[in-house]
Amino acid sequence: MSETGVAVVIEDDEDVRNLVHAVLKDAGFEVHSASTGRDGVEVVRHQKASIITLDVGLPDMDGYEVLRRIRQFSDAYVVMLTARNDEPDTLTAFLTGADDYMTKPFLPRELRARVTAMMRRPRNGVSGAKPEPETPAPVAPSSPAAPSNAEDGVLKHNGLALNYKSRMVALRGDVLTLTRSEFDLLFDLLRAKGAVRTKADLVRAARGEFYDQDSYISEADERAVETHIGNLRRKLREDPNSPRFLQTVRGVGYRLAPKRLD
């Protein structure tokens, strides 16, 4: 296996498949390919992929169903590739468990940049099955610089504990399974300590070094943040009438809810 990891390309268009294969191989991955959804699921299962590119329009089943099956046993990063840029397609991709979404045609260097940004922030379980519900020992930091007041690498808020060293999150002792983007958004909001974070700020937090302060942030990028926040709220079991963790600032973005004594 390559030191970078294993990549799986699930794509029925031979030209696109060969292009993505070349981009990922050049990035240092051991690359495997499949032209159908069923074959792709089995390749991911047997090769223990770190990163997957997944075409939405496959001949035997759509990419969303393929992703649902993959998510039953793998926490690999998934980039959806599609010729369509409709909002429902984007939202479906993220709700199903995708980490990123790119529209064809795309620039090879953009795909490589996004994949590189993902792999710089590895999440627990990325090379195989989902993490077991236990608290792991801290490992070397892979997240952005932590707040100076964090104790032992842990940020706490209203019963929520985020360990930015091991990239684990627990709610009242129960470990939560978050995607890379969900973790990075939650970490960004926690370290802001109640300051408002705009949707553009959160896009940059989720995409890492790929987006700097001068990068253009599209409406699709901001909608993706809204979807990730919605998924976070569901996993945090938020009460929409009395949020304990995340508050919406209308027309601007999000911030932490006030601290509670209970």
pLDDT digits (tens, 9 = 90+) for 193-206: 999 999 888 888 87
Residue 257: per-residue pLDDT: 92
Q: What is the DSSP string of the chain?
A: --SS-EEEEE-S-HHHHHHHHHHHHHTT-EEEEESSHHHHHHHHHHHT-SEEEEESB-SSSBHHHHHHHHTTT---EEEEEES---HHHHHHHHHHT-SEEEESS--HHHHHHHHHHHHTS--TTTTSSPPPSS-PPP----SSPPPTT-BTTEEEETTEEEETTTTEEEETTEEE---HHHHHHHHHHHHTTT--EEHHHHHHHHHGGGS-TTS---HHHHHHHHHHHHHHHHHTT--TTS-SSEEEETTTEEEEPPP---
Q: What CA–CA distance (Å, rounded) separates 76 from 50?
A: 5
The mean pLDDT of the chain is 82
Percentage above 70 pLDDT, the chain: 81
Say yes or no: do domains 6-119 and 154-256 share a fold. Answer: no
pLDDT digits (tens, 9 = 90+) for 152-183: 789 999 999 999 888 899 998 899 988 878 89
Q: What CA–CA distance (Å, rounded) separates 139 from 147?
A: 17
pTM of the model: 0.57
> What CATH number has the domain spanning 154-256?
1.10.10.10
- Architecture label for domain 6-119: 3-Layer(aba) Sandwich (3.40)
Residue 2: per-residue pLDDT: 65
* Strand 168-171 to 160-163 pairing: antiparallel
pLDDT digits (tens, 9 = 90+) for 212-243: 555 667 777 788 888 889 989 999 999 888 89
Residue 87: per-residue pLDDT: 63
Indicate the domain borders of the chain. 6-119, 154-256
Percentage above 90 pLDDT, the chain: 44
Residue 216: per-residue pLDDT: 63
Residue 39: per-residue pLDDT: 96
Residue 208: per-residue pLDDT: 65
- Is the model's pLDDT at 138 over the cut of 80? no
pLDDT digits (tens, 9 = 90+) for 11-61: 999 999 999 999 999 999 999 999 999 999 999 999 989 999 999 989 999
